[in-house]
Amino acid sequence: MSSCIWLPATRPRRGRDAVSPGRLLAIAFKEILQVWRDPRSLAIALLMPLMQMVMLGYGVSLDIRHVPLCVFDQENSQTSRAVAQRFVAAGWFAASARLGSDQAVHEAMDRAACIGAAVIPADFSRRLDSTGGSPLQIVFDATDANTTNIAIGYAQGVVALISNQLEARWAAAHGGPATRAGMVDLEPRVWFNEGLESRYFIIPGVVAVILALVGAQLTSLTVSREWERGTMEQLISTPVTPFEVMAGKLLPYFLIGIFDAAFCLLAARFWFAVPFRGDFATLLITTALFLIVVLAIGYLISVRVRSQLGASQVALLVTMLPTTLLSGYTFPIDQMPAPIRALSLMVYPRYFVTILRAVFLKGSGLAGLIGPVLGLVAYAVVVLWLAGRAFHKRLD
């Protein structure tokens, strides 16, 4: 201290607030250190994607499997037992109980021990043998109409299969033609998701939802934290420019976002085994674009709401509800009423849901995704413009 020399003042070059990469990087580096040492930010950055991937990835499924099915086999013959077995063998139903009376069927449905009950009449085999046909009753608990609808579809499929076999057997026994050819045969071919796995459709959407939630949460804290701790007043007393603050703060979260995106996408591909048919470049470009939108929205909220708690709540509110309801990741947008469909155009994750699904399942490239990509670009431009303008280097 004794021999310190006061160095002459350095005169910053004059000129209109030119962007300084050095200042930008100083902010970015500081931000990384802060996140690294803040358990709350670290948890949002690293644990939230993992937890949501597990909860949404497993929790949201439109497939209906192992529908509990009771069987009231009034005949109990070899044929009737074989029929009951076929329902279980197809994988859609799980035999939950064999029942002995109509009363037992009612009770089982009341207790929700089963959703469906197959009732095989006492003269099942006899009617098949004599007339070549017999009714088979399945009773469904339709409180969940959607599940019931799908279960009825499955049941019809199973019954059609059984019916064909029995018909062939009957024809062989009675010397008729082996099969009766229909006039028109429907031969359905399903593209892009041959197994009709709803998981293939939902998981890419889940990735988009997670990135939208996590991204906005991350940046929603970054400016409000500095206002709360009083460091912002110091920062804005320096020649730093609003653009440097924004870019310097978004940069580290962009890297974290890319890390989270890589984690979620790898989990989608390898853990949830969603086929990936697209190209990596398209995936990278669109993911980066989406992250910019998401992070800039969190930043905008953080600038506007000066408390960490408030900013985090607002970020949750403006991302969670629109994203889960209107992004189309579970509820199909096409089926919504026109005003809601129009509203969903505002919900930026819908574009990324569309993009991810197309890249994963259809192998679409940028050219095929021009609509949703332009949607994201427009969003990015508007949000960055608003965010850039929102930050003022004044206290009033």
Partner 1 sequence: MSDSAGPAVLAEGLSKSFGTFTAVDRLDLAIAPGEVVGFIGPNGAGKSTTIRMLSALLRPTAGRARVAGFDVVREANQVRAHIGYMSQTFSLYGSLTVAENLRFFAGIYRVPPAMFEARRRFAIAMAGLEGREDALVSTLAGGWKQRLALGCAILHRPPVLFLDEPTSGVEPEARRLFWELIHRLAAERVTILVSTHYMDEAEYCNRIALIDRSRLVALGSPGTLRRRELGGTLLALPCAPLGAALAALRDAPGVAEAAIFGDRLHVLLAAGGLSADDLPAFLTARGVSSGAARPIDASLEDVFVHLVAGHAAAARA
Interface positions with partner 1 (CB under 8 A): 1, 4, 6-10, 12, 14, 17, 20, 22-23, 25-27, 29-30, 33-34, 37-38, 229-231, 233-241, 393-396
CB of 17 to partner 1, least distance (A): 6
CB of 279 to partner 1, least distance (A): 39
Cβ proximity to partner 1: between 66 and 389 the closer is 389
CB of 310 to partner 1, least distance (A): 19
Instruction: Say if CB 345 and CB 258 are below 8 A apart.
Output: no
CB of 322 to partner 1, least distance (A): 33
Cβ proximity to partner 1: between 6 and 191 the closer is 6
CB of 370 to partner 1, least distance (A): 41
Cβ proximity to partner 1: between 14 and 180 the closer is 14
Which residues touch 326 (CB under 8 Å, ≥6 apart)?
A: 333, 336, 340, 343, 344, 347, 350
State the Cα–Cα distance between residues 340 and 336, nearest whole angstrom.
6
Cβ proximity to partner 1: between 178 and 395 the closer is 395
CB of 225 to partner 1, least distance (A): 10
86 exposed, middle or buried (CB, 10 Å; 0-12, 13-18, 19+)?
A: middle
Cβ proximity to partner 1: between 39 and 332 the closer is 39
Cβ proximity to partner 1: between 248 and 322 the closer is 248
Residue found under tokens 């332009």: 374
Cβ proximity to partner 1: between 8 and 182 the closer is 8
Cβ proximity to partner 1: between 23 and 350 the closer is 23
CB of 384 to partner 1, least distance (A): 22
Cβ proximity to partner 1: between 119 and 223 the closer is 223
CB of 240 to partner 1, least distance (A): 5
CB of 8 to partner 1, least distance (A): 7
